Amino acid sequence: MDDDIKIHMYQDIDLSNSMLIDGFPTVGLVSTIVSSFIIDSLKLRRVGSIISRHFPAAAIIQNGIPSPPLRIYAGPKLCGPENECEQVVVLTSEVRIPDEIQLPLAQKILDWSKDNDVKLVLSVEGTPITEAPDPAEQLGIYGAGSTDRAMKLVTNYNLTPMDMGIITGVPGHLLYLGDMEQRDVLCMLAPAHAQFPDARAAAKMIEVIDEMLSVIEIDTAPLLEQATNLEKDIQESLAMLKRGLEHGREEKPSVPGPMYR
């Protein structure tokens, strides 16, 4: 099935000494919001896409240009501990990856990162919370690493070590494959609402990424300011969908676009 996954680069680009951030749909859409916000803030360019016949049949249209659901963005930025990385690469998607293709996709990403001399793979995830926290409450970010070096990032930057638990999906596969192959993979998990996009959790994650990896000074204030409106819009859209289903007509919710890529 690995042969069914193709990585297409739109141009020849040297990605050596880079940090790869992957953002697949997860609890609270934390990873999707984080990856989109970083792409916009750092003005990263679309450099590639990942395609497979097993992926959902969809094209993402941006500025009139169609792309597959899984896209690769990159740009020259000093990053990583002690600025050892020279580029930031972001893999992002809005669509959920089918279960049967997640392991081969994770292996493909890890092989591709090795071939391109990527120094660190960073997976961002959401972990569900049952109750809405006080906005003033500072929720911690959990971390799990595939190697001793990755685990040092967890302890050095005050992440809460994940001593027990389960990480599912592509990030989970990346984590244990990284352990098997001794590739540096770090997974960070932010407590988030499960029912709707959690922009506050995403903002907290971005702050940690910025502080820990010294990517650039990313201003999360716009995201925090939009958090309440975003969550309200999503709740209204879900209510609209529910009413439509009750009346026998399926209405597609109108989800605001600026936070998604």
User: What would the pLDDT profile of 164-187 be if each residue is shown by its tens digit?
Assistant: 999 999 999 999 999 999 999 999
- For residue 14, give Cα distances in angstroms to 47, 118, 201, 230, 236: 11, 10, 33, 37, 44
Residue 237 lies in a domain: no
Point out which residues pair with 123 in neighbouring strands.
22, 187
Query: How far, in Å, CA of 174 to CA of 107, rounded?
Result: 7
What confidence tens digit (pLDDT) does each residue in 209-261 have?
887 656 456 666 676 666 556 556 555 655 665 666 566 545 444 443 444 34
Is there a domain that residue 249 lies in?
no
Model confidence, pTM: 0.81
Question: Could you tell me if residue 192 is inside a domain?
Answer: yes
In a domain, 231, yes or no: no
Boundaries of domain holding 118: 2-225
Q: Does residue 199 belong to any structural domain of this protein?
A: yes
For residue 28, is it within any domain? yes
Q: What is the pLDDT at residue 210?
A: 80
- Residue 254 domain-assigned (yes or no): no
**The pLDDT value given to residue 77:** 76
> For the residues 52-75, what does the mean pLDDT come to?
91
Q: Give me the CATH number covering residue 148.
A: 3.40.50.10900
Structural domain count, the chain: 1
pLDDT at site 25? 85
pLDDT for the residue numbered 248: 53
In a domain, 88, yes or no: yes
Comparing 177 with 37, the larger pLDDT belongs to: 177
Closest C-alpha to 257, from 31, 32, 25, 30 = 32
